Structure 1
């Protein structure tokens, strides 16, 4: 197992405090009822006490103010974990205002998806592992209950640190009920049966440290010049790739992944996990057959490109992390095993 030598932040204990922040969009302020249900469920699932900061519910807060809350959470020794409420589209402007010395002095588990890929990469670049997943407004607040796979991986990331097998929950939704609709508090979105995961590349088992996140945000990070490492920093690693609710066509996803290949990142890793992508939203709802085709198109283009740059990589497609629900939380900078022989995936939290 190669890659950077990262600090794995210590786990919290029941009764500890966990910061709940809005580093991107303050959905907690825009949809407070859903947020408050998420906070109650966070305590029920983990035994932790959520602590909000000045911009947690402040829609439109400046990048500097949001960064100040992140810095304050790292600086407070009573805070033993940090959860992002949701993603957004401008966290890249928050990153320059963060204090790396504070994060390195007291590393804490950070959980978030989507636009939070910016924060995951910033932590990784500063030698700190985190966890990809766990946006409270998406996975704790909505619906009649917290999904089992999410609750299990949330506890593992924040408290228990155990090794879990990542499995298919058998159902998936692209998008839940509109958060402005009171039914969002007790109803799931439209769920459908999942397709079996597909495996590509050689039949071998890979164990490596993870890096990656939302494909669109990875592109921003590279464009902003914030990946300042040689490609071999990912040697032997596991690349995590998922796409957002922007529903990029497969061809555009392929062009971004191709750029990762040209950068040398695809050749460096030993395995790639491509998430089950969302292919519908509130206004675009293709037929079941069209949705299956759109997912297959993304799979085929990514698998083809990875194979061109690294035919020895083990590739698994369909794991529920990122923008669909139910969702697993996965280590970012932690260890994942992608077993192409037994066709199983394990994550060490």
Structure 2
């Protein structure tokens, strides 16, 4: 089993070697800095935005709402205006973090308007996922670490901010790295009804599982920078082929995937991984992280079984890994992405998957 940096010739370095490619983890939010709320996808609902700001204030975080996140907007700003908002927030020295209000479905149109050099000149901690993984993958290409979680739904559902989400959000805002990730004790697949505001039902979590390829050694961890995010967004980037990194920059990386409220049929996930394998991309990853999948979603074109879907998803992922990267380590059922509660998955950060301890850690580089 390889640990550390996998080189283009398929050989691997030892764990003590530095992970390839220079990355910057933007500095933590300063005491004299505010967090900017932007809307790279959709504009906010005024009530939900206010709840999110109040809960951030409870963490000691001052917030500033940028123009695209004006709740009086009926429609998203133009892609160019959304890009300008992001650049302005990054460039402002009084802003120490930037958080997207929510996701959407067209942020990929914003990327062509972004000045990557300007963002790299003022690296700032960005928070968002789902449609915002478009921007996060763009930042990855510039060597900037970014984080999951957004204002809605993560900070505004339920009567209080979940203690698990709060714990890791605090680390992502104020500390150098997330450190070891402890699985949540409970989770829910229920949607929160903002009109009824009734408590959701929570279930005990079975905890994550790990798979070690047939050519792997279960005693050895893998360590690499995280690339990926929401499955639909990763698939868009593969399809457009405009914002993918050079393939060798993925050598030794850890592929992260979570399936969102789209709940794609497992076979679709398998087909995409197979295409990555035929393209020579899948074999470059030393590890894979799969988020806990949700199955309760808006009307779908198929009817997923909530009890069987996680295992079906795991089966197709491990099948394709076994075909294309049989020495990989894969972890399933982690609390990131479209699941409650969740931790802010840091794209670009160094992740260590230890199959012997079934442990997941982020940082230090």
Decide: shared fold, TM above 0.5. Answer: yes
Alpha-carbon contact 1:83-1:111 (below 8 Å) kept? yes
Task: Give the counterpart of 1:306 among 314, 321, 326.
Answer: 321
Secondary structure in structure 2 of the residue aligned to 1:345? strand
CA distance in 2 between partners of 1:49 and 1:74 (Å): 16
Task: Give the counterpart of 1:191 among 202, 221, 225.
Answer: 202
CA shift for structure 1 position 344:
0.8
Alpha-carbon contact 1:21-1:53 (below 8 Å) kept? yes
Alignment match, 2:162: 147
Task: Give the counterpart of 1:82 among 91, 94, 98.
Answer: 98
CA distance in 2 between partners of 1:36 and 1:208 (Å): 38
CA shift for structure 1 position 3:
3.3
CA distance in 2 between partners of 1:129 and 1:276 (Å): 22
Task: Give the counterpart of 1:259 among 275, 279, 285.
Answer: 275
> Does residue 24 of structure 2 align to residue 24 of structure 1?
no
Alignment match, 2:192: 177
RMSD: 2.0
Paired residues in the alignment total: 338
Secondary structure in structure 1 of the residue aligned to 2:356? coil
Task: Give the counterpart of 1:224 among 235, 240, 245.
Answer: 240
CA shift for structure 1 position 321:
0.5
Alpha-carbon contact 2:295-2:305 (below 8 Å) kept? no
More helix by share: 1
Cα-to-partner distance string for 1:4-38 (whole Å, 9 max, x where unaligned): 21111111123421111111122x2xx32122111
Alpha-carbon contact 1:175-1:324 (below 8 Å) kept? no
Secondary structure in structure 1 of the residue aligned to 2:352? strand
Alignment match, 2:51: 37
> Does residue 292 of structure 2 align to residue 276 of structure 1?
yes
Alignment match, 1:240: 256
Alpha-carbon contact 1:211-1:332 (below 8 Å) kept? yes
CA distance in 1 between partners of 2:228 and 2:199 (Å): 28
Q: Normalising to structure 1: TM-score of the pair?
A: 0.91
Secondary structure in structure 2 of the residue aligned to 1:9? coil
CA distance in 2 between partners of 1:290 and 1:129 (Å): 35
Alignment match, 1:159: 174
Q: For structure 1, which segment, 207-216 or 156-165, has the greater mean C-alpha deviation from structure 2 after superposition?
A: 156-165
Q: For structure 1, which segment, 94-103 or 59-68, has the greater mean C-alpha deviation from structure 2 after superposition?
A: 59-68
Alpha carbons of 1:59 and 1:262: their partners in 2 closer, same or farther (altered >3 Å)?
farther
Q: Which runs of at least 4 in structure 1 moved beyond 6 Å after TM superposition?
A: none
Secondary structure in structure 2 of the residue aligned to 1:39? helix
> Does residue 124 of structure 2 align to residue 111 of structure 1?
no
CA shift for structure 1 position 157:
1.4
> Does residue 290 of structure 2 align to residue 290 of structure 1?
no
Alpha carbons of 1:296 and 1:80: their partners in 2 closer, same or farther (altered >3 Å)?
same
Q: Normalising to structure 2: TM-score of the pair?
A: 0.87
CA distance in 1 between partners of 2:322 and 2:292 (Å): 19
